[in-house]
Amino acid sequence: MNSLTSGSTITWLLLTSDIIGAIVCLHLAFLMGLEHIYLSGLWGSEPLVGRGILLISVVLFTLWALAWRLATEKWIKRKEEQSRFLVIGTGEKAIGFGLEYQVISPKTEFVFLAENQTQVNFSVEENKCFLVDKMENFAIWSEQSWSGVLINDTVKQLSDELVRELMKMRLRGVYVYNWAEFYEKFWQKIPPLCIKDDWFAFTSGFSLLHDRLNARLKQLIDLVVAGCLLIVTLPIALLAAIAIKLDSPGPIFYSQIRTGLHGKKFRVYKFRSMDRNAEQQGIQWAKDKDPRVTRVGRVLRLTRMDELPQLWNVLKGEMSLVGPRPERPEFDGHLRREIPYYDVRYLVKPGITGWAQVSYPYGASIEDAYQKVAYDLYYIKNYSLLLDAAIALKTIRVMLLGKGR
List pLDDT tens digits, range 291-323. Answer: 788 888 888 888 888 999 999 999 999 999 999
* pLDDT exceeds 90 at position 377: yes
Per the domain annotation, does 197 fall within a domain? no
Looking at the fold, whether 15 and 92 belong to one and the same domain comes out as no
CB-neighbour burial class of residue 135 (10 A; exposed 0-12, middle 13-18, buried 19+): buried
SS3 content of the chain, % helix, strand, coil (to 5): 60, 10, 30
pLDDT for 106: 78
At residue 8, the pLDDT reads: 40
Mean pLDDT, range 86-98, rounded to an integer: 82
Residue 250 and residue 174 share a domain: no
Domain membership flag for residue 193: no
Mean pLDDT, range 203-224, rounded to an integer: 92
Q: Under 8 Å CB-to-CB from 94, ≥6 apart: which residues?
A: 87, 112, 150, 152, 154
State whether 29 and 104 are in the same domain: no
Give the whole-angstrom CA distance, residue 97 versus residue 104.
11
**Distance (Å, whole) CA 79 – CA 123:** 27
255 shares its domain with 340: yes
Instruction: Taking residues 340-348, report their average pLDDT.
Output: 95
Say whether pLDDT at 262 is over 70. Answer: yes
Does position 83 have pLDDT exceeding 60, yes or no?
yes
341 has a pLDDT exceeding 90: yes
Our count of domains for the chain comes to: 3
- Residue 164 maps to which CATH number? 3.40.50.150
Please check whether residues 119 and 151 belong to one and the same domain. Answer: yes
Mean pLDDT of 350-354: 95
Mean pLDDT of the chain: 81
pTM score of the predicted model: 0.77
Task: Give whichever of 40-54, 91-105, 147-161 has the largest mean pLDDT.
Answer: 147-161
First to last CA, the chain: 24
* Residue range(s) defining the domain that contains residue 25: 3-40+48-80
Q: Is residue 196 part of a domain?
A: no
Is the pLDDT reported for residue 216 higher than 90? yes
Question: What pLDDT score does 11 carry?
Answer: 42
